[in-house]
């Protein structure tokens, strides 16, 4: 706590979250670009399972993730903006302060 303010406080603001991107590759005719973008997305999300959870809309994409997808597409020669299945105004709970202390628990690890 510094000057009565918590250094880890983040203001609650609504942002435009995206749900799903099943149609992302529909207008991309270059099959090699499709493959490379899909590989980049899988690496970005760290696993195929997580990739599919985002693709299917089970997890929402925050604005930074949406921009990252647009950047990946441009990297592979696709200049069209990514098309997401749905947009939702919501609070972004994905931002975590890297400097925040790790919570301490009294229970031992199993």
pLDDT digits (tens, 9 = 90+) for 7-41: 777 778 899 999 999 999 999 999 999 999 999 99
Residues 6+ apart with CB under 8 A from 10: 95, 97
| pLDDT at residue number 104 | 45
Residues 6+ apart with CB under 8 A from 50: 59
| pLDDT at residue number 74 | 97
User: Packing angle between helix 63-75 and helix 31-45, nearest 10 degrees?
Assistant: 140
pLDDT band at 101 (very low <50, low <70, confident <90, very high): low
pLDDT band at 110 (very low <50, low <70, confident <90, very high): very low
| pLDDT at residue number 1 | 64
> Which residue is associated with the tokens 């069209």?
80
Question: Can you give the length of the chain in residues?
Answer: 110
Q: What is the mean pLDDT of residues 77-87?
A: 95
How far apart are the C-alpha atoms of 38 and 28, rounded to whole Å? 12
Q: What is the pTM (predicted TM-score) of this model?
A: 0.76
């Amino acid at each position: 706590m510094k000057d009565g303010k918590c250094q880890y406080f983040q203001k609650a603001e609504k942002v435009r979250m995206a749900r799903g991107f099943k149609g992302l590759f529909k207008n991309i005719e270059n099959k090699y670009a499709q493959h490379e973008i899909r590989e980049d997305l899988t690496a970005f999300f760290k696993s195929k399972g997580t990739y599919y959870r985002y693709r299917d809309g089970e997890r929402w994409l925050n604005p930074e993730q949406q921009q990252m997808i647009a950047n990946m597409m441009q990297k592979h020669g696709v200049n069209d903006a990514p098309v997401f299945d749905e947009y939702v105004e919501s609070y972004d709970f994905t931002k975590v302060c890297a400097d925040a202390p790790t919570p301490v628990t009294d229970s031992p690890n199993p």
